[in-house]
Amino acid sequence: MSVKIRSYEKRGKSGWEVDIRVKLPDGTVHRERVKSPLTSKSGSKSWGEQRAAELLLHRVESQATEKKKVPTLKEFEAKFMSYSETNNKPSTVYAKEVALRVHLLPHFGKMPLDHITPSEIELFKAKKLKEGQKAKSINNHLAILRKLLNLAAEWGELAHAPKLRQLRVDTQTVNFLNFDEEARFLAATPTEWYPMVFVGLKTGLRVGELLALRWEDIDLVAGKLIVRRTLWQKQEGSPKGGRHREVPLGDRVMSVLKEQRASTLLKSPYVFCDAEGQRMNHNMVTPVVPRICKKAGLSKRLTFHDLRHTFASHLVMRGVPLRAVQDLLGHTTLAMTLRYAHLSPDVTRDAVKLLDRETPAIRGDMVETGR
């Protein structure tokens, strides 16, 4: 930074011209020649130095502001998806890609991230409800948006992420077979599908977990299996929640699996495979359960996933604690298992009956003191 002073006289007027040179942080030089508002040389020199300092400060702040320009949602999308591909399962990455493309980008895509305010999010929610979207689906989209904004804030692209209020969702009901319907359902199950259907009913495994189940995951001596992987769009990955879980096997399941092993072990590493020993896929098993329901004369049209609901429902109806059901299903939170709580009516009744128990010593003390 340099400040030079020279006198001038023009049309009868005299004063001081200040020549200011300021070198900016990026290496460029800003030069400015101006007339001093002061009449003395020393005063003009001081004024020029102050002006140079102001110029430097202003340019530095301007450059900092330019560097911190907040990207739009569309501009930040690639970084977010790259992060997701590194840290999420393929099915989760796919869900995020669809939610962004179909729902979030059309509404928020052109907005800088700091323009995605709580009021703008409320407009999005209202719009999606008007379009007929279910509250649960909208909440799933909001969860993705929240993760994106939090990540942008964590990486310094956004000063802070706004709060997102999710929509209230009514308690979800589940479809399942009662005990009589289960008997009719199994009686109508074709021989070739019986092992997979029965194991699904008695272990609660998800469809992808059944399709990816290998004989190395099953211990027929100890009577247990380990869920280590799941299948999604021809890709095997870790099960939902990212954790392995152990599922004990009942005697009837053990018997079915032993017969299945005798017929498939030598031709395939997978427990459930096609006639050539190849791993099956979702398209092959999707129509199986609805067809069996129809054949059994059931009014319900269940899916393969509803066999998992049946497993959980029967456990609760038999008095198994919800915490144990949570572990068997592999739910990450107890809240996910609470949808089955209403199937255990004796729980609340038994809890109230505990109040009928009296402690004689305390009752005696109360009588003696006249309480």
Instruction: Kindly report, residue by residue over 119-146, the tens digit of the pLDDT.
Output: 899 999 999 999 999 999 999 999 999 9
> What distance in Å separates the CA atoms of residue 85 and residue 64, rounded to the nearest whole number?
31
CATH topology for 179-348 is hpI Integrase; Chain A (1.10.443)
Give, as one character, the DSSP assignment of residue 215: G
Instruction: Check residue 352 and give its pLDDT.
Output: 59
Look up tokens 């030089």; give the residue: 29
Q: Pick the catalytic residue: 89, 141, 279, 340?
A: 340
pLDDT at 370: 46
- Say whether 282 is catalytic: no
State the average pLDDT over residues 238-252.
Answer: 90
pLDDT above 70: residue 182: yes
Place 171 in a pLDDT band, splitting at 50, 70 and 90.
Answer: low
Question: Confidence band (pLDDT; 50, 70, 90) for 354?
Answer: low
Q: Which residue has the higher pLDDT, 253 or 342?
A: 253
Looking only at the bridges linking them, the beta strands covering 2-10 and 230-232 are unpaired
Which sequence spans correspond to the domains of the chain?
2-65, 73-154, 179-348
pLDDT in the model for residue 348: 55
Lowest mean pLDDT among 135-144, 257-266, 346-355: 346-355
pLDDT at 309 over 50: yes
Q: Is 79 designated active site? A: no
Q: What is the mean pLDDT of residues 34-52?
A: 84
240 in catalytic set: yes
Whether 305 is catalytic: yes
Q: Which of 240, 279, 309, 314 is catalytic?
A: 240
**Residue 107 among the catalytic residues:** no
Q: How confident is the model at residue 369, as a pLDDT?
A: 45
In this prediction, residue 245 has a pLDDT band, given cuts at 50, 70 and 90, of very high
Fold of 73-154: DNA polymerase; domain 1 (1.10.150)
Helix (H, G, I), strand (E, B) or coil at 282: helix
Nearest CA to 225 out of 201, 247, 198 is that of 247
Hey, CA dihedral for 285, 140, 149, 78, is it positive or negative? positive
- From 331, 339, 342, 363, active-site residue: 331
